[in-house]
Every structure is written in structure tokens, then in C-alpha cells.
Amino acid sequence: MKVHGQPLNRSGLLAHVGQLSQIAGVRLVTLADGAGRGTRLLEFRSGAGLEFEIIVDRAFDIGHASIAGCPLAWISQVGIEGPWLREPVDLGWLRSFGGGLLATGGLDHLGAPATADEADPDFPAKVTNDYPLHGRLSGEPATLVGYGANWDGAECTLWAEGVVRQASVFGEVLELRRRIDCRVGTTEFRLRDTVTNHDYGPSPHMMLYHVNLGFPLVADGSRLVLDYESAVPRDDFAAEGWDRFGPPTRAATEEVLEIRPSVGTDGRVLATVVNAAEDLAVYQHYRADTLPYMFLWRMLGEGTYVVGMEPSTNSTAGRRDARAKGELVVLAPGESRDYDLVIGAHSGADAVAGHLRRHS
């Protein structure tokens, strides 16, 4: 392990500290005030400058994150709210969208609100089903399975695991089991997600990883580094220079591009946002077979200044389009689907330059 610049094995590290928490660890805390009162957080410190928090009561998503004290995640005007304040209808997602490094969309819908004709023979009164913006998952609290630090030889891994259930009588019964691992001495963490259909009938499934980046990483001259096959605007706007970001402007509007990324020989997609000085970067890499689409979300306005890298199971066209094209995932009773997403950061010109060479 390289802990704050010093290469140390287990005995060497423990000889320097009273306990591991002096330099790295996971801590469970509860917010005590404001709209987030009562919300549980797990605070991670990697021992190499990476710090981030898991919002246990918001789908085990990621809130604040930093590298070497420099913030990475975009935090919205809403901030962290307790799940009891969510509005799970239509565009209500925006009233509890606090930003954070990761907000997960799903488990049965992503994209704009939609209504589907879905008659249920077991419940004749149900003839349609309403799906709010990006689904209902992000407002659901998790059951905390556990957290801690595991040693394996000379390496130590910080971990946390939670289970989030999205269920309805006469509706879907979907469960997300999420495990997050971060090795001490590194500046990245890995999400391993398993979504399982616990209903007795088939269940449609959609998944979106809404990774939200903000200032000072996102600033005038920052750019997205990504190999891709196509990049198509969702709406009618000029897409020239879509991979480079300017300063906040009052006249800015939301822009979304649907990207078909190139896939590496390892079957994964690598995408990075780097600042103009190329001394600060955030990257993600993930399995392309389960997340074939990626969206770039740009909102470069005053007060709402954010760039999103968003791997997805489906396109921005939505649920009906996915079903019509045969792209809508349908889980059989008891069937599961796995996802694997790594998010990391680099601080300093040498570290960023070394990472950017991975793109060449």
C-alpha cells in the first residue's frame, strides 16, 4: 500500500498508528439538522487523499467526494434530504435531487416521466402505470448489511454493503444489492450491483448511473476524454465542441448528448473529465455489455453548473422506444442482473498525465 506517499505493508502501517482510523476507514454518522435530519451516511477515507460518503438512506448513492481536499461532486440547491421528503411522481425527482457524485436511476424506468398501458389480470383496476423522472429508486432507503475494513495479506479494503427494495402490491418487486469497495492507499472505489426480480412474474428493468461533477473540476476549459463511435444531441442545439466546457452563463440551457462509446479490449468503457490545467481528473470505467449507452449531461448555467457522465442500459428515447426496439431488459422471476462500475480521481499533473495515457 502507498499511504500518503509512503509504501507500507500491514505491519509497517500498523506500527505507525494506534488504529487504522488515524489514516483511513469507514464511519457511520447521522445528520442532525435541516432537511437531511435522520439520514445515515457512511464516510470513507482511503488513506491516499480520496474521501467520499455513501448516503445510506438515499439508495446507497454517493454524496460529497473529494481528492486531496478538492471537491469533485456537484451538490444541487436541494442538498441532501431525507427519503421521507421525496415526491415520487412526474418531475418530483428534481425536488429531492441533491446531486452528489452518484444518483442511481431505475430500477424499472429512466429518463422523462412516462405512462404505459400495462393491464394487470391480477388487479383489474390497474390499466396504466406511471413512471416518474428516472424512476423511484433514488428515494428509497437502504437496509445496511454491514461495513468495515478487511485485511488480505498486505492489502486492506474498506467496504460497505446495502440492500434497496423497490416494491409495490400488484407491481414490481425489485431489489438492488450494492457493494462498494475501496482499497486503502488508492484513489478509486468500485460499485458491484446486483438487481433481482423477486416477483412471481416478469419485470421490466432499466438502470442509469447519474455521475455528477462540479466546480472546480468543471470550470472554463475542462473537457471530457472519451473514445466514441457516435454522439447525437437529444434536443435541437448546436453540438460543436460538446466535449469541452465553458464558464457559467446566465443564458445556458440543459443539454444532453447520447453517446455510443468505444469499447476496450477488456470489454469496458473508460471516460474521464479533466480540468484545463490537467492536474485534476475524475474517471469512470464500466462493463459495456450491461451499459451500452452513455449520456453526457451539460448544464453550464449560473447556480446550476454541472456535467454528468451517465452510463445507461437504454437510450434517452425512453421506455416505449426500448420495448419497441427489443432493448428493454425483462427479468424473469428470480432472475438477476449484475453491474460493475469503478469511479476514481487523480490530483497533480503527473498523476493526471499518467491516467490520460490510458486513453491513448
Is 60 exceeded by the pLDDT of residue 163? yes
* Predicted local confidence at residue 282, as pLDDT: 98
Report the 10 Å Cβ neighbour count for 62.
Answer: 24
What domain range is 31 assigned to? 2-359
8 Å CB contact between 300 and 252: yes
What is the longest distance spanned by two Cα atoms in the chain?
67
Q: Name 95's Cβ contacts closer than 8 Å, sequence gap at least 6.
A: 78, 86, 87
The mean-pLDDT minimum among 115-129, 153-167, 169-183, 193-207 falls in 115-129
Structural domains of the chain, count:
1
Rounding to the nearest 10 degrees, give the CA dihedral for residues 93, 97, 103, 107. -10
* Predicted local confidence at residue 127, as pLDDT: 55
Name the average pLDDT for the chain: 92
Is 70 exceeded by the pLDDT of residue 252? yes
Q: Distance between CA 18 and CA 25 in Å, rounded?
A: 13
The string over 192-225, giving b where at least 16 C-beta atoms fall within 10 Å of a residue's C-beta and e elsewhere, is: ebebbbebeeebbbbbbbbbbbbeebbbeebbbb
8 Å CB contact between 309 and 271: yes
Q: What is the mean pLDDT of residues 298-305?
A: 96
- Set of cell numbers at residue 211: 455521475
- Band (132; pLDDT cuts 50, 70, 90): confident
- Set of cell numbers at residue 165: 427494495
Find the angle CA(342)-CA(108)-CA(315) to the nearest 5 degrees: 65
CATH at residue 334:
2.70.98.10
* Predicted local confidence at residue 84, as pLDDT: 85
DSSP, res 236: S
Report the 10 Å Cβ neighbour count for 170.
Answer: 10
Cell 427479468 appears where?
331
8 Å CB contact between 61 and 53: no
For the whole prediction, is pTM greater than 0.85?
Answer: yes
* Predicted local confidence at residue 114, as pLDDT: 85
Q: What is the mean pLDDT of residues 170-195?
A: 96
- Band (54; pLDDT cuts 50, 70, 90): very high
The residue among 106 and 128 whose pLDDT is bigger is 106
Is 70 exceeded by the pLDDT of residue 168? yes
